[in-house]
Structure 1
Amino acid sequence: MTSAWHPESRGTLTVHTVNPAELNVRLAQDIAQRLAAAIQARGLAVLSVSGGKSPVALFEALRVIDIDWSRVRITLVDERCVPRSHPDSNALLVQTHLLQDLAAKGQLVFMVASTAAPLDTPATLAKAASLALTAAGVADVLVLGMGADGHTASLFPEAPNLTDALDLRNTQTCVAIELAHPPANAPYARITQTLAQILSARHIVLPLFGTDKLNTLQQAWKQATPALPISCVLQQTQTPVALWLAN
């Protein structure tokens, strides 16, 4: 990732610039240390993760690190409204790429509990997911991603109910997101943690690769705007955020 612009740490936002070949391993080590500290302090740890292809390499680096995975609960930042056994399910992605090797003993908390269609409405699924996440506890580490359009989790700029999802006074843990024009590679309604729920985490990490995403990040760095939902994470001062940039 090359550019004349390089973000610098500020307030609760820390920037780590790392060689691309080392980023996932170093971030995995950082996450594992935080989970181990949470286990020592509270007897268990909660790791909340995003789906998609971007975190796969991170999951595969994390699953071979030796911590007490039997005391780790894994929750999802967002999920597609498909059965949990569906090939496009984020839960299945986590089971395939994270809950293997040493991490096989981790406990996955499903956002969509059903194993087969038909499913309940997205709104009903979101209510059930809210209960499951609340029962799982506060995330010690929450891993976000960012699209080139500035979306994070399933908080898309064009979502009809984005204002509610970004409202920090919103007491809902999860909301349903139904896009008029969903991504062609995943044309499903979704469930996502609200911004308030995301910011309830003790520590947020955001790994980024690619020049297109750096350009989006530069815009989000300037001010909070619903046009770039990730900016609402970067501009807040409530929760520590660690930005991991490949350079």
Structure 2
Amino acid sequence: MFGELRVVENVFRAFADLVASTTPVSMALSGGATARSCYELLATTEVDWSKTDFFFGDERWVPVHDPESNEGMARETFLDAAVPKAIHSMYQTSSLDPVDAIKAGAKSYASLLATAGPIEMIHLGLGPDGHTASLFPESAALNETVQLVVPNQDQQHPHLRLTMTYPAIETAHLVVFTVAGKQKHDALARIRSGEDLPASRIRANKVLWLADQDAIEG
């Protein structure tokens, strides 16, 4: 396992406190139930977001108002009330067919990231299969070594998606994984044992794993 594993009583509280103590000037957000709980608690924490640029580590290729949108979830839980410096959407409305549109979206977001420079904090989750962002086991995105953002898809996750790649993530100053609940125990245990899963390959200047006792013990 690469990085620091920090066992905490409440992952959501630990995450909110960490963000509040640093107030990153750039931050990439995640999706999923754990992220939602993190952001709901973050909404109750006093943070000045006026100098923060928000990005997304991955996104389903759906409009922001779609229930499956990571950005939509983040806006609903805290972003709309946060009034940050900027919110950089991955999904863009397009007249192109979905496949061409998402390819154009990947190119556009990669250009944005290249211009923005290293992101201060990237928030990632952990799927039961060991995926993180939309870097799924045995998917083509795992082998990308140049592009910062690529389309990706997985049979277990039907939506077309955009995801940051390893080259994009590894430039971050800090990557924070939030891992909560017994349902994440098996994946976390496999990573701790050194198994080669998508999340195991994450590298950055600093990687911090926040995990609760249920995720550690199962």
Range into which the TM-score falls when normalised by the shorter chain? 0.7 to 0.9
Quote the residue 2:44 is aligned against. 64
In structure 1, C-alpha distance between the alignment counterparts of 2:44 and 2:182, rounded to whole Å: 30
* Corresponding position of 2:67: 87
Gaps of 5+ in 2: 214-218
1-structure distance, mates of 2:152, 2:65: 20
Kindly tell me: are residues 34 and 240 of structure 1, through their superposed partners in 2, closer, same or farther at Cα, counting changes over 3 Å?
A: same
Query: Is 2:209 the partner of 1:221?
Result: no
Relative to structure 1, the CA distance from residue 111 to residue 207 in structure 2 (aligned partners, 3 Å threshold; closer, same or farther) is: same
The SS at the match of 2:133 is coil
Bigger Cα Rg: 1
SS in 2 for 1:70: coil
Q: Deviations over 1:163-205 (max 9, x none)?
A: 423xxxx2211011033x142xxx2111000012111110111
- Which residue number in structure 2 is paired with residue 48 of structure 1? 28
Residues 1-247 of structure 1: matches in 2 within 5 Å?
A: 13-19=3-9, 22-35=10-23, 38=24, 45-101=25-81, 103-114=82-93, 119=98, 120-159=100-139, 161-165=140-144, 170-179=145-154, 181-183=155-157, 187-223=158-194, 225=196, 228-233=197-202, 236=203, 238-247=204-213
Check the 8 A contact 1:151/1:230 in 2, yes or no: yes
Q: 1:221 to 1:26 in 2, by over 3 A?
A: closer
Change (3 A) 1:110 1:244: same
- Under a length normalisation based on structure 1, what TM-score does the superposition of the two structures give? 0.77
Q: Distance in 2 between matches of 1:116 and 1:58?
A: 35
Cα distance, 1:163–1:140 mapped onto 2, change above 3 Å = closer
- Contact 1:82–1:88 (8 Å) recurs in 2: yes
**Equivalence for 1:5:** none
* Residues 142 and 198 in structure 2, CA contact (< 8 A), matched pair in contact too: no
Identity %: 27
Q: 1:123 to 1:116 in 2, by over 3 A?
A: closer
Letter in 2 for 1:91: E
Q: Given the superposition, is the C-alpha separation of residues 157 and 204 from structure 1 closer, same or farther in structure 2, using an over 3 Å criterion?
A: same
Segments of 4+ in structure 1 off by > 3 A?
115-121
Q: Is the 8 Å Cα contact of residues 50 and 76 (structure 1) preserved in structure 2? A: yes
Judged with a 3 Å threshold, the aligned counterparts in structure 2 of structure 1 residues 128 and 193 are, in CA distance, closer, same or farther, namely same
Instruction: Give the match for residue 41 of structure 1.
Output: none
SS of corresponding position for 1:99: helix
Q: CA-atom RMSD, angstroms? A: 2.2
Matches of 2:121 and 2:205 in 1, distance apart? 11
In the alignment, is the contact (CA less than 8 A) between 1:85 and 1:115 conserved in 2? Answer: no
Alignment check: 8 A CA contact 2:136 2:142 kept: no
Note if contact 2:174-2:206 (Cα within 8 Å) is conserved in structure 1: yes
The letter of the residue matching 1:212 is Q
Following superposition, the deviation at residue 243 of structure 1 comes to: 0.9
Question: Which structure 1 residue ranges, 5 or more long, are not aligned?
Answer: 1-9, 39-44
